[in-house]
Amino acid sequence: MKRFFGKIWPWLRNKYVLTIAVFAIWMLFFDQNNMVDRIRMGSEIRQLEDDREYYQEQIQKDSARLNELTTNKENLEKYAREQFLMKKSNEDVFVVIEEKE
């Protein structure tokens, strides 16, 4: 153990090495733009970009579905029947719920 500190101690007494070490520690942990926060923000940015891709895909799907519903009356009627259980005045609607085992 003394050999290790014997070799390291002259380096630690050097004012330039000491200044660089203090500066590096300051930049890594205490600065406003420290590395810990930068890594955390980078992770958050990647998550937000993934969310953005997901929502853009959903917008495209919904836009296509909206276009399909507004251009074709039959699709609109089918959608209303399936999603909102709407019916004509002379019809009865039966909802069948499958039980899971």
Tell whether 26 is covered by a domain.
yes
Better pLDDT: 51 or 100: 51
Tell whether 92 is covered by a domain.
no
Crossing angle, helix 35-71 and helix 73-84, to 10 degrees?
120
Residue 6's identity, in one-letter code, is: G
pTM over 0.75? The answer is: no
* Residue-wise pLDDT tens digits, 9-36: 676 777 888 888 888 888 877 877 788 8
Tell whether 95 is covered by a domain.
no
Please state, in angstroms and rounded to a whole number, the distance separating the CA atoms of residues 78 and 65.
12
Tell whether 98 is covered by a domain.
no
- Side-chain-facing half-sphere of 46: CA atoms under 13 Å: 5
Tell whether 37 is covered by a domain.
yes
Better pLDDT: 26 or 7: 26
Domain that holds residue 20: 2-84
- Contact (CB, 8 A) for 80 and 86: yes
Please state, in angstroms and rounded to a whole number, the distance separating the CA atoms of residues 66 and 78.
13
* Residue-wise pLDDT tens digits, 41-92: 999 999 999 999 999 999 999 999 899 888 988 888 888 888 887 787 888 8
Tell whether 74 is covered by a domain.
yes
Number of domains in the chain: 1
